[in-house]
Structure 1
């Protein structure tokens, strides 16, 4: 049942009950633990009414129900917050709000500022969520423990914590997910990996790593004598601002005239970083007076827009002592490598550039499809990120809820080529499938033949019979990495 206008009018402003925290809430500051779980839930309900994009879709939920109560405060709050999300579905059958989430302020700060996070710095690829799964390493963060142990792109998982990678029981599938996608720092795990035709080898490592937002940048000589820049960009965090600026300065000094941005493992983050990168690609003339993103909130008829960010320092998040301008390449075209993990702020980069007539050529797979923005709502040590705005570009286009499709049709179809992630070659290698396709398109103006269809995470392995009764392995990706976080304008 949806709420009506009378319910909206009966809610108090959230400010009245802010930071009156339950005594059992360990995330809250000690001096704030003078309230109750009920007060925290009332704050959530009022705040959802104030900022949630689909505020009139919020169900009528009994906040006192057992599933939203009890001594486990984070569990109760998370369950209540999730119950308030819109239950509607889109025309394509997707749940309208599969995105809003709750986390801790500690986790939000760690992700935003590039501090230590759970995991191993590994991106995994799966041919199928059911056996035979074909689980392989797609990316390893340089400098991580995994990299020091010699784990490489293309390595195949044989077992994790003693459980075969193709185990079919539900408990085993859950244990595999817990081993590969840990949610806490410090947990230790043991895997057996296989590299090519070599012998199986055992590795043991602990969860916890620091992400480098731009791990690879290089200049590639082209056959026509010009220089092509390649940039592997994996995280829209605060440290990315300096890393991207240095990369673009280097590309400019080396005479780069075409650019390939590899976003296949970039789930998003701060939208200001995407805006900075878009400006550095396009330059002053194309971005002057234009909106990088237009924002539509829950008030009909109201909208705002954010310009292309030209300053290197992030106002509101850093101590900006100077107004240093970002370097620019002033390109008319950019190649962007994508897969299903390309999400949110990364998609906003694609859409923002297309809105100012920069020719985007997309090489790879369909992106995740998340044309929304989020602003953290903080209370009692927890950060709530309800979907706050629908986003569009300078031309008013935001209809990419099913993702951008390389070589596709319609508004979300982007010129380019559908190409699978090539795990047989290192990232940045000119022989790697997606980069090779981008270079071919640059030289010939068309896709290479034959074009390899982009793989999805749930596609059956070639020649493999799917175990229809086997348990599904559900990968977990930190939602903090797969959203577009907006910085409030002051």
Structure 2
């Protein structure tokens, strides 16, 4: 399905997560920067035969609407040439046969019978279910390539700089602010803080309104300069206030609220909120760990509750910065591709030696960081704050550290369960995400498709020590009174979860001692997966 990066579809009730988005019709070629279509080029490769596949290179870059100009990802001219819909579909078919983790479970269908490449791509996956009844492949996406490049390289998207938490998927619906993309709040009104509740959007009642299109376009705007009127109940208030929010390009601030908390016993505990494994996170993580290292912290609480993932190499850098000397001679994660590629990475051609714990910078955005020694806290255990929004590259941090016997204490909820990843593949203006590998740690463990569970009962390494506790929208993130952080601090002091008084959200705006579970914070593909770079 094609993912619209700044929008979540509502259809009578909230459709939770990017998987609820409808695919856009019309096929794979992007209209942006495209030239005119050629005069009826002939498809290459001959006619379709079941289970007979030509190499995907036969069809690559043969486009219905070839792009012109410079490819921002390479700095060179686009390689597109005039092709046909059948060419684009044949590339998808051959690529999937070569790279898809469960390629043998794809039903081979004639690519000439589909006039929409996105619809054809939706068929190029397994439809099997897990033992728990969930879809085995819940992570099959497409994104327009220009949007993908903007998201991953700069963290820029069009919006308000607000990440909404959806607390109820059926009427009466509820949505509150989970966090702001800029720690300072940018130009947002002061009342727009964590826990502020949305009452209405452009005059449509959020809880029971039937005009879901107005709600959808208001909460997830697509265009720079759009303005929408919101009724908001601020955190801790019973008064409803009206504000106008104007959409603009927003740059996500992936690392926030870096601080040191001193416990009653005098133990120094570092805290950071880490929201996105995007390229700009590298420098911010280095700065954060450098600050905590200077404070001589003895413990770290890493808040991953809203971190859906991103670049795996960022996770490998951070894992080193946490564990330091404990990582020497160890591998962070080993990618396992399908059985056609037992020894070699089919994308890069490199041996499957695994992703290391990177001890030097990779220079994602700031090239001066490349090869520079990374700071480290040299910790032998880590506290992670998690939710069902904790996915993929974030789960890889947990799994990678456990693979080298760093103790991980989990506070919060079961994670989303995404031990899979991919290299994004651009063809004809669309970037395709098809599961290509699963990741295992140094001990060979990677079976956590149902997530990591605090005090779990799976009977596997997906069971972590820790405490089950919901999200506390009545306190700010990083506040020592916020339920999950408070629980971690209590665990550090006593070795137990304790009886943490949790201020949670209620419809009246008053506090209740009832934490919120299953609050969904939906993000773009670039911020919700395990992504490798070539």
The one of 77, 87, 103 equivalent to 1:55 is: 103
- What SS is found at the alignment partner of 2:167? coil
Cα distance, 1:450 vs. partner? 5.8
Question: How many Å apart are 1:124 and its aligned residue?
Answer: 1.9
2:305 aligned with 1:264: yes
The equivalent of 2:357 in structure 1 is 308
Q: 1:372 matched to which residue of 2?
A: 420
Match of 2:60 among 18, 37, 40: 18
Q: Does 1:151 align with 2:209?
A: no
Identify if the C-alpha distance between structure 1 residues 166 and 444 changes in structure 2 by more than 3 Å, giving closer, same or farther. Answer: same
Report if aligned partners of 1:422, 1:434 keep a CA contact under 8 Å in 2: yes
Report the equivalent of 1:189. Answer: 228
Contact 1:141 1:215 in 2 (8 A): no
Q: SS at the partner of 2:232?
A: strand
Summarize the Cα distance change of 1:207–1:64 in structure 2 as closer, same or farther, 3 Å threshold. Answer: farther
Q: 2:162 aligns with which of 102, 122, 127?
A: 122
Structure 2 unmatched runs, 5+ = 1-48, 72-76, 344-351, 506-510, 514-518
Aligned length: 456
- How many Å apart are 1:184 and its aligned residue? 5.4
C-alpha deviation, 1:381, in angstroms: 2.1
What is the distance in 1 between the residues matched to 2:521 and 2:268? 38
Spell out, residue by residue over 1:362-406, the C-alpha distance to the aligned partner (whole angstroms, 9 max, x if none): 111111110101101121222111001011111111111111111
- The TM-score with structure 2 as length reference comes to 0.79
Task: Quote how far apart the aligned CAs of 1:102 are.
Answer: 1.0
Instruction: Give, in angstroms, the shift of residue 331 of structure 1.
Output: 0.4
The CA distance in 2 between the partners of 1:344 and 1:432, in whole Å, is 25
Residues 275-286 of structure 1 mapped to structure 2, 5 A cutoff: 275-284=316-325, 286=326
Distance verdict in 2 for CA 1:321–1:162, change over 3 Å = closer
> Is the CA contact 2:391–2:416 (under 8 Å) kept in the aligned structure 1?
yes
Relative to total residues, which structure has the larger helix share, 1 or 2?
A: 1
How many angstroms apart in 2 are the aligned matches of 1:127 and 1:261?
A: 23
Q: Does 1:414 align with 2:464?
A: yes
State the match for 1:198 in structure 2: 239
CA 420–259 in structure 1, closer or farther in 2 if over 3 Å, else same: same
Q: In structure 2, what is the equivalent of residue 469 of structure 1?
A: none
Alignment correspondent of 2:477:
427
Matches within 5 A, 1:288-307: 288-299=328-339, 302=342, 304=352, 305-307=354-356
Q: Is the 8 A contact 1:138 1:423 kept in 2?
A: yes
Q: Distance in 2 between matches of 1:154 and 1:329?
A: 32
Instruction: Kindly state the Cα deviation for residue 320 of structure 1 after the two structures are TM-superposed.
Output: 6.0
Selected match of 2:445 from 397, 407, 410: 397
CA apart distance, 1:301: 7.6
* Contact map agreement 2:231 2:240 (CA 8 A) in 1: no
- In 2, Cα distance between equivalents of 1:154 and 1:433: 13
- Return closer, same or farther for 1:384/1:443 CA change in 2, 3 Å cut-off: same
Q: Distance in 2 between matches of 1:259 and 1:215?
A: 14
3-state DSSP of counterpart to 1:261:
strand
Counterpart of 2:151?
A: 111
Seen in structure 2, the aligned counterparts of structure 1 residues 77 and 150 have a Cα distance that, compared at 3 Å, is farther
Residue in 1 aligned with 2:405? 357
Structure 2 match to 1:173: 212
Moved more, 14-23 or 107-116: 107-116
Q: Is the 8 A contact 1:337 1:363 kept in 2?
A: yes
Structure 2 Cα separation of the partners of residues 13 and 319 of structure 1? 35
Cα distance in 1 for residues equivalent to 2:520 and 2:492 = 37
Alpha-carbon spacing, 1:64–1:182, altered in 2? closer, same or farther (3 Å): farther
Counterpart CA distance in 1 for 2:525 and 2:230 is 25
Distance 1:349 1:446 in 2: 23
SS, match of residue 384 in structure 2? strand
- 1:3 maps to none
Q: Does 1:78 align with 2:118?
A: yes
Change (3 A) 1:206 1:132: same
Q: State the partner residue of 2:527.
A: 481
**Deviation at 1:46?**
0.9
Of 202-211 and 266-275, the range deviating more from structure 2? 202-211
- Whole-angstrom distance in 2 between the partners of 1:135 and 1:423: 11
